[in-house]
Structures are given as C-alpha cells and as structure tokens.
Amino acid sequence: MTIRPVRLAINGASGRMGCALLSLLGEDNRFELVYAVVAPGSVHDGQPIVVGDALPLRYAHDWTQAPALDVVIDFSGPAGLTTALDHCLAHDAALVSGTTGVDAALEERLAAAGKNIAVLRAANFSLGVAVLTRLLREAAAALPDWDLEIVEAHHGRKQDAPSGTALALGQAAASARHSTLESAAVYNRQGRTGERVDGSIGFSVIRGGDIVGEHTAMLVGQGERLELVHRATDRSIFARGALQAAHWLAGRTPGQWQLDDLIAPPR
Ligand SMILES: NC(=O)c1ccc[n+]([C@@H]2O[C@H](COP(=O)([O-])OP(=O)(O)OC[C@H]3O[C@@H](n4cnc5c(N)ncnc54)[C@H](OP(=O)(O)O)[C@@H]3O)[C@@H](O)[C@H]2O)c1
C-alpha cells in the first residue's frame, strides 16, 4: 500500500520560521508542499520560492486560490493566523500554529475550532522542551517541598524576559503543585529581599552573544539538587518539531492537541 505524502501549506512562508521549514521540506518526502502563503502586499507575493531545493511553487497571499490540503503550518502573526484558521475551518484541514502574541478573542476562536478540526499549538516547538516540561511536572510533584528556580539564557537581541518557554515551564510546575504561576512567581531579587518564600518559583535571566536558548529548572533540597537542562543550538529545531507535529496531526480527529500528546506516553 502506498501512503501518499501529507499535503501541506505554510502560512508565513517568507519569514524566519517559514524559510527554516522550506529548507527542511526539500529533503522530506513525508510532505508535498502545495501552498506557501505570505502577507497581502508582501514583496514576496507571486515570487518563486528559492529556499532549499527547488520547489515548483510561488509565494501567494490569497487563500481562496489554495488547492486541497491536509494541514496548514502557521508561523505568521495573529492576523495571518486568523485567515489560516478561517481556511482550515472552511475546508476541514488541520492546523499547526507557533504564532505567539494571540489576543483573548483569537484564543477563544482557536479553542472553539478544536470542536471541528484538529489544532496543535505550541509556544516552543522543540521536542526536547516538550520532554523537559513533562519531566519538570513530574519532578515538581514528586518533590513538592524543594525550592524551584528557573534560569534561562538567550541572545542579546531578545526583546522579552523571562522567555515564554521559561514562563510555560513555571506554569507547568506550579500546576503540578496545585498552585498558579501568578501566585508563585518571583521575577526580581535586588537589595534586601528577605528570605525565600516557601513554594515560590524564582526566575533568572541571562542575555548575551548568540545563545539560541537555554533553560534550566533547578530543584533544590537539603544537601542535594536536581537540575533539568535543555540547550538549543540551532533554530531549525522549531521547524523540525512543527513538521513532526504536522505529520502526526494529519487525519487526526478534531481536538486541541499539544506537543505532549505526540511524544510517547510514559510507561
Ligand atoms: N512556537 C515556536 O516554536 C516559535 C518559534 C519561532 C517563532 N515563533 C513565532 O512565529 C511567528 C513568526 O515568527 P518569525 O520569526 O518567522 O517571523 P517573521 O520572520 O517576521 O515572519 C513572518 C511571516 O509571516 C508573514 N505574514 C505576516 N502577516 C501575514 C498575514 N496576514 N498572512 C499571511 N502571512 C503573513 C510574513 O510575510 P511577509 O514578510 O512576506 O510579508 C512572513 O512570511 C511569531 O509569532 C513568532 O513569535 C514561534
């Protein structure tokens, strides 16, 4: 039996993540790229795709011209994600999205979309970070009295701190301890801070050079310490993770899926 490749569209195809996806797709026969979408008015609109192996496609902006497809991978922005979501809902296609900065109204629409189509979103498409999150959840619950500190390091051009991934790790640990990030997080320590508050989660931030992204979750007990560390050395990990998610999601039942669903269940 021949299994046909997954028919894929990329939304945000000319961006940093779009280019990373296109350059991986040339050598990945699990997929057939059928549409590559950019912003309306983009300088790339109508131009041939020249990233990676030659792909017989041009960038486009008009979803009404899209051929039949199985999955859309979106790394565009909230406006782009909105149109991609409309297309997926109208044509029963699955949606993988890494777009961040989504407002409450769009969050609500995406949550409702899970009733009709398969949707998988992640703020970080690294499979290593997905496993780190699972391990941290388990460790935080198993060692409820140990102090938890999260340290993250990124390149100097990063605009926000702590990183979205560090916050998501804190959130996962807090809920594993039946707490919330809002009540547990400590972001600043300077001057006379007083003693550490039991149950708090401290965040420390390092910025410099070309660090792609590092996250350490430190669980500190009396006389011993457990450290869970993830180091990203190449941005293509996010594109690889998104492609793995798209392959897993194609043909799946409607729902709001997460990266944790596609890594093997714990034994
Ligand atoms: N979850 C993760 O692992 C992860 C990793 C990296 C980035 N991200 C997120 O992914 C998003 C994109 O990141 P990036 O670094 O690739 O951004 P980028 O380099 O600025 O690229 C954005 C892309 O989206 C396109 N675009 C903008 N508006 C659009 C619209 N209305 N419809 C269709 N396409 C549209 C742009 O087209 P033109 O420029 O050609 O006009 C461009 O191709 C951001 O939200 C970022 O935070 C997530």
203 and 98 part of one domain: no
Q: Does residue 251 lie in a domain region?
A: yes
Instruction: Please indicate, yes or no, if residue 133 is contained in any of the structural domains.
Output: yes
| Residue 240, token pair as written in the block | 């690889």
| Cα(77) to centroid(ligand 1), Å | 5
CA distances from 244 to 120, 172, 238, 250 (A): 11, 23, 10, 10
**34 with 163, same domain?**
no
Half-sphere exposure of 228 (CA within 13 A, CB side): 22
Task: Please tell me whether residue 21 adopts helix, strand or coil conformation.
Answer: helix
209 in the same domain as 133:
yes
Residue 53 lies in a domain: yes
pLDDT in tens, 189-199: 999 999 999 99
- CATH number of the domain bearing residue 76: 3.40.50.720
213 Cβ closer than 6 Å to some ligand 1 atom? no
Please indicate, yes or no, whether residues 134 and 218 belong to a single structural domain of this protein.
yes
pLDDT in tens, 45-71: 999 998 766 667 999 999 999 999 999
Decide: 76 in ligand 1 pocket, CB within 6 A: yes
Secondary structure (3-state) at 207: strand
Same domain membership, residue 98 and residue 19? yes
In a domain, 58, yes or no: yes
Domain match, 246 and 153 both? no
Residues 199 and 257 in one domain: no
Q: Give the residue whose CA is nearest to atom 21 of ligand 1.
A: 15
**Number of domains, the chain:** 2
Cα 22 to Cα 141: distance, rounded to the nearest angstrom: 40
Whether residue 124 has its Cβ less than 6 Å from ligand 1: yes
Which pLDDT band holds residue 121 (cuts at 50, 70, 90)? very high
**Residue holding tokens 């006389």?**
223
pLDDT (tens digit per residue) in 235-248: 899 999 999 999 99
Percent of the chain with pLDDT over 70: 97
Same domain for 119 and 11, yes or no, is: yes
Answer yes or no: are the C-beta atoms of 49 and 26 closer than 8 Å.
no
Grade residue 26 by pLDDT with cuts at 50, 70 and 90.
confident
246 in a structural domain: yes
Task: Tell me the catalytic residues.
Answer: 154, 158
Pull the structure tokens for residue 190: 């300077």
> Containing domain of residue 212, as a range?
127-232
Tell how far the Cα of 266 is from the centroid of ligand 1, in angstroms: 33
Q: 125 C-alpha to center of ligand 1: Å?
A: 14
Residue 1 belongs to some domain of the structure: no
CATH code of the domain in which 178 resides: 3.30.360.10
Whether 267 is covered by a domain: the verdict is no
